[in-house]
Amino acid sequence: GQNIDQPTEMTATEGAIVQINCTYQTSGFNGLFWYQQHAGEAPTFLSYNVLDGLEEKGRFSSFLSRSKGYSYLLLKELQMKDSASYLCALDSGGYQKVTFGTGTKLQVIP
Amino acid sequence: DARVTQTPRDKVTEMGQEVTMRCQPILGHNTVFWYRQTMMQGLELLAYFRNRAPLDDSGMPKDRFSAEMPDATLATLKIQPSEPRDSAVYFCASGPQGGGGYTFGSGTRLTVV
């Protein structure tokens, strides 16, 4: 089976940098996703890491370490609109089964 | 922009009634997922399909839930009979072969009273 852990809630200040961590336990996986979900809306794709290391995409970056069972999402220059839940998900199995963690609710304050 | 379309957007029904939710995946996507989201459990995978064939529905209560893809443009999730504990938002997502980012529909908010 799989176990995905994320902090339940975080608060950060507008303009700052925040790191949202995700740890997982799994027997094997193809890659790791990060999704953003605003309240009352559908999740939207942010990133997909297959290899170890940091992938940068504008203000958002995602990091993966397979040996440590660890990923993080880094959000820079925080904006109020970044207040949302951030979901970590594993893509595993030959048929790319995607299972989600419970998500981290981020609140950005002025 | 290509979208995953789900209907209905909202559904209120009485306990014991049958509920059918529909999903139109993005044209050309061959992988379709059904998820259920509640405050307590987060996003739970119910079932998923590849090229219309069911691959895994172990997350779905088999006695009352069923998922099908009658053709490449339609996926359905049916609950019969519905119960109050089924109240949740049900999301459909689709993606291309080879994986990468999956696109979610807007969801069906189901309330069983």
Query: pLDDT for A54-100, tens place per residue?
Result: 999 999 999 999 999 999 999 999 999 999 999 999 988 666 788 89
Low-confidence ranges of chain B (pLDDT < 70): 99
Q: Dihedral of the CA atoms A89, A39, B60, B66 (nearest 10)?
A: -120
Q: Cβ contacts (< 8 Å) between B102 and chain A: which residues?
A: 33, 45, 98
pLDDT, position B41? 85
Q: Is the pLDDT of residue A24 over 90?
A: yes
Query: pLDDT for B36-54, tens place per residue?
Result: 999 888 899 999 999 999 8
Rg (CA), chain B: 13
Name the residue among B99, B103, B106 with its Cβ closest to that of A96: B99
Please give the Cα distance from A74 to A32 (Å, whole number): 15
DSSP string for B53-89: EEEE-TTS-TTTEEEEEEETTEEEEEESS--GGG-EE
pLDDT, position A1? 59
Name the strand (E) or helix (H) holding B33: strand B31-38
| Interface residues on A facing B, Cβ-Cβ cutoff 8 A | 30-31, 33, 41-45, 48, 87, 89, 91, 95-103
Q: Cβ contacts (< 8 Å) between B105 and chain A: which residues?
A: 42
* Distant-in-sequence, close-in-space partners of A81: CB < 8 Å, separation ≥ 6: none
DSSP-assigned letter for residue B47: E
pLDDT, position B35? 95
In chain B, which residue's Cα lies nearest the Cα of A45? B101
